[in-house]
Amino acid sequence: MLRMPDLPITSAGREMNGWQTGIFPESFLQPRLPSYIISLHENRFARARYVVGGVTPMEIKDRLEQLRDTIRTHDYYYYVLDRPRISDDEYDVLMQELKKIEQENPQYITADSPTQRVGGKPGAGFETIRHRAPLLSLENVFSWPELLDFDSKIRKIVPDPVYTAELKIDGVSIVLIYEEGVFSRAATRGDGELGEDVTLNVKTIRSIPLKLQKNLPRLEVRGEIFMPKQEFLRLNQEKEEQGERLFANPRNAAAGSLRQLNPGTTAARSLAAFFYDVIHIPENPLETQEEYLYFLQDLGLPVNTEFRVCHNLEDIAEYYLKYEERRHQLPYEIDGVVIKLNPLAYRKKLGQTAKSPRWAVAYKFRAEIKETRLVECEINVGRTGVVVPTAILEPVHLAGTTVSRASMHNFELVKEKDIRIGDIVLVRKAGDIIPEIILSVPEKRSGMETEIIPPLHCPFCNSILVKEENEVAVRCTNMNCPARLKESLIFFASREGMDIDGLGPALIEQLLSREMIRNVSDLYGLRQEDLILLERMGEKSAQKLINAIEASKNRPLYRFIAALGIRHVGVKTARTLAGYFSRIDDFFQVSTEELKEINDIGEKVAASIIHFFNEPHNRMTIEKLQTFGVNPRADGKEPQEKPLANRTFVLTGTLEALSRTEAGQMIEALGGKVTSGVSKKTDYLVVGANPGSKYTQGLQLGINIIDEKEFLGMLNSFKPAD
C-alpha cells in the first residue's frame, strides 16, 4: 500500500508544517502544498473580513484562490483517499462562500474552480477526437504458460526484467488532458484512434481534479473510469423499480453514464476513476512504471494503490492468486491483473504488435460462471407494483457466496433468453454482486421443462396486470395489493397526499401487522378504543389521530387524487385534473380521449388514469371511502395557508435555476424550514448537481430525495391553479 502524506490540518483545524514524507521520493514533494490548506479558524476569520467589506480586488482574488485550493484539497481527501478531514457542513461553508464571491465577482470565475463541475448544457452529441497517437489495448493471456511465454519474449531483450503488477479495472478507458495544470479535455479511447469528447461529463467526477498539484505546461494521462459495485447495485435497483432496462454490468453502466448528453445525469451517478499511464509529459524525467504511478498520485490524480513491483515470476503468481481470490471483496470490479515491464527505457525497443504493446499483458481471471438448474420461478411484486420474476436455483457456489436465487428482472428478458423451469442455466454475478442467468442450455433439456408464462394477474391480489408502452415491466395497479399496501398507505397519509397528521410509517406498520387495516378506506373506520391498543398510544393521542383522520375527509379534490398514488399523477397533474372534474366519480366515466384533451395530459398519463379507475379493487376502495364520508370536492379550500408548514428541507449540490439562498427563501415563504444537516427529521433532501455526502446520508436514512425539477414542481404545485 502506498502511504499518502497527511493533510496538514490537525483535528483542531490548525496548520502544521510540511508533509510527512512517508515513502515518497523527495523530488515528488511539492513545496507549496502546505500553503494550499488554510485552517478552518482562518477561514472563518477571512470570511468575516470579506463580509465586512472594504476589500480590494487583489484580496478577493487571493481569497478565491485560497478557498479553491482548500476545497480541492478536501475533495482529494474525500473522493480520492476516502478519508474526509472536515464535516460536510464545514465543507458547505467553504463552498457557499466561494459561490457567493464568484457570483458577486463573475469576472474572476476560472474553469478549474470547484464550482464549475456541472457547468455545461446538455449537448446534441459528442464530438469526435483524434488521439495524438493511437491508444493501444492489451494482449490478453488466460493461463500461466501463456504468461511465461510473454516473459520469455521480454527476456530476449531485457536481461533481468522487473515488472509492475496492477489490477485490471473493468471500466471505460479514458484520456485526460491538462494544460498549465488545469483540466482541459477528456476523451474516451474509442477504437484507439478516434474517441469521443466527454469533457463535460468527466468534469462531474469528483475524484478527478480540475487542477493538478503541479503546473505542467501539458500533460496527457490515461486511466479507467468505473462505477463502484454499490452504485451499480443502487442504479439497477432504481431501474428495476422504474421498469426500465437494466445495465448488464458496472462497465456498461459506467459507459452509459459517461455518454449521457446531460452532464447532470452523469453527476448524479457516482462514477470514479483510477489513472495508470502517462501518455505525454514535457521532458519526461521518469524512468519506471512505478514512478509513473507515484507521479500521477502526487499530481492529485486517483491511483489504484493495490499495485506491486514484481522481481520474479513467483511474485506475479502470488499477486494474481491473491487478487483472484480477493476481487469479490473489492468495492469495484476487476477482470484480471496487468503485468507491465517496469523500466520505461525498454518500451520503445520492445515495440508493439498491431494493437498492443509487447511490454505489457493482461492476465485475465477466469470468468466466474457456474452451471446449475432452475427449479422454480417465483413472482414478486415490488413497492411500485413492478412484477419481477425470480429464478429459484439449485444452490451453487459463485464468486464468494452460495447462490440460490437470481432475479430475472422482467418477462421480456425471460423470453429473450428462452429460460424455462427445469433448465440447466449458466449463472454469474453482475457487477460481482447480483446473481444473474446468462443463458439457458437447451442442449441439456430432457423435454420435461416448462415455459415461464408471464402472469396476467397479480399473484398477491389477482388484479389484472398492466404493461405500459415502452416499458419492459408489467405492474399491479391495485393500490391495496398486499405487496404494495404499506407504501400506498404511507403515501396516502403523507403530506403530499391526505396529510393525516401523526399517521406515519411506524404507525401504519403496526396497524397492518395487527391486521387492523387492509386498505386505505379501513383508516376511516378506526375507533379510539382500537387505537389505544397500539404501542405508545394513549387516549389523548388516539383521539388526536382520530381527529386528524376525520379532518382529512374534507381535503380538496386534487389532494385526494394525488393521495391515490396513480402512476404518473403527481400533485401538479392532480391539480390540473381537479380543474376539470368536480367529483371523484367523474373519473369512472371518463375516456382516454377526453383526458387527452386536457392540457398537459398525454397518452401515457391518460392510460394510467384509465387503468387505475378501471381496476375493480381501486373502484371498490374509492366507493368505500365515499361511504365513510370522504368526498372531496374541487372547490374545497386548502385549510393551510402555509403548505410547507413543519416541513424540513436540506439542500445539497448546485441548483441550476436558482441559488440556494433563493430556494431557501421560497421554502420559508411557504412555511418550511431549511437546515444544514441531514437527519431522520428531514422531510426532503433537494439534490442539485454534484451532491455532497448528504446525498449518501439521505439514501442511507431513507429520506425523501427530490431533484431540482421535482422541487420546482413541488413549489409550482402550491401556486394557485389558474
Q: How large is the C-alpha radius of gyration of the chain?
A: 30
Q: Does 541 bind ligand IVH (CB under 6 A)?
A: no
In one-letter notation, the amino acid at residue 668 is E
Q: Give yes or no for a contact between 420 and 452, defined as CB atoms under 8 angstroms apart.
A: yes
Q: Given the complex with ligand IVH, which of 301 and 387 has the nearer CB atom?
A: 301
Q: Does 493 bind ligand IVH (CB under 6 A)?
A: no
Q: Given the complex with ligand IVH, which of 338 and 531 has the nearer CB atom?
A: 338
Smallest gap from Cβ 226 to ligand IVH, in A, equals: 9
Subset of residues 178 to 197 that bind ligand IVH, contact rule: CB under 6 A: 189
Pick the piece of the chain touching ligand IVH (CB under 6 A) from 26-34, 134-142, 400-408, 410-418. 134-142
How many residues sit in the footprint of ligand IVH (CB under 6 A)? 15
Backbone angles phi, psi at 395, to 5 degrees: -55, 140
Q: Does 303 bind ligand IVH (CB under 6 A)?
A: no
Length of the chain: 722
In one-letter notation, the amino acid at residue 563 is A
Q: Give yes or no for a contact between 338 and 138, defined as CB atoms under 8 angstroms apart.
A: yes
- Binding residue for ligand IVH (CB under 6 A) from 91, 276, 332, 411? 276
The Cα–Cα gap between 114 and 116 comes to 5
Q: Does 277 bind ligand IVH (CB under 6 A)?
A: yes
Candidate list 99, 168, 429, 572, residue with the active-site label: 168
3-state secondary structure of 167: strand
Q: Given the complex with ligand IVH, which of 85 and 189 has the nearer CB atom?
A: 189
Q: Given the complex with ligand IVH, which of 138 and 703 has the nearer CB atom?
A: 138
Q: Does 364 bind ligand IVH (CB under 6 A)?
A: no
Pick the piece of the chain touching ligand IVH (CB under 6 A) from 152-160, 354-362, 444-452, 650-658. 354-362
Contacts 24+ apart (CB under 8 A), 30-39: 30/213, 30/214, 30/298, 33/5, 33/213, 34/8, 35/69, 36/69, 36/70, 36/72, 36/73, 36/213, 37/7, 37/8, 37/9, 37/69, 37/70, 37/73, 38/66, 38/70, 39/9, 39/13, 39/14, 39/15
In one-letter notation, the amino acid at residue 457 is H
Regarding beta strands 420-421 and 450-451, do their DSSP bridges make them parallel or antiparallel, or are they unpaired?
Answer: antiparallel
Site track for ligand IVH across 151-170, x = CB under 6 A: ---------------x-xx-
Site track for ligand IVH across 309-338, x = CB under 6 A: -----------------------------x
Q: Dihedral (C-alpha) 486, 488, 494, 497: value to the nearest 10 degrees?
A: -170
The Cα–Cα gap between 84 and 656 comes to 27
For 652-691, b/e burial (b = at least 16 CB within 10 A) is bbbbeebebeebbebbeebebbbeeebeeebbbbbbbbbb
Q: Does 297 bind ligand IVH (CB under 6 A)?
A: no
Q: Given the complex with ligand IVH, which of 356 and 462 has the nearer CB atom?
A: 356
Smallest gap from Cβ 338 to ligand IVH, in A, equals: 4
Q: Does 67 bind ligand IVH (CB under 6 A)?
A: no
- Binding residue for ligand IVH (CB under 6 A) from 70, 115, 173, 410? 173
| Catalytic residue status for 168 | yes
Q: Given the complex with ligand IVH, which of 364 and 694 has the nearer CB atom?
A: 364
Smallest gap from Cβ 303 to ligand IVH, in A, equals: 10
Q: Does 80 bind ligand IVH (CB under 6 A)?
A: no
Please name every residue paired with 182 in a beta bridge, in sequence order, or none if there are none.
179, 211
Q: Does 137 bind ligand IVH (CB under 6 A)?
A: yes
- Binding residue for ligand IVH (CB under 6 A) from 64, 86, 362, 595? 362
Q: Does 175 bind ligand IVH (CB under 6 A)?
A: no
Concatenate the DSSP letters of all residues of 371-415 into one string: EEEEEEEEEEE-TTSEEEEEEEEEEEEETTEEEEEEE---HHHHH
Closest residue by Cα to residue 76 from 20, 6, 25: 6
Q: Does 574 bind ligand IVH (CB under 6 A)?
A: no
Smallest gap from Cβ 159 to ligand IVH, in A, equals: 23
Q: Mind telling me the catalytic residues? A: 168
- Using CB under 6 A as the criterion, which residues of the chain lie in contact with ligand IVH when the complex forms? 136-138, 166, 168-169, 173, 189, 224, 276-277, 338, 357, 360, 362
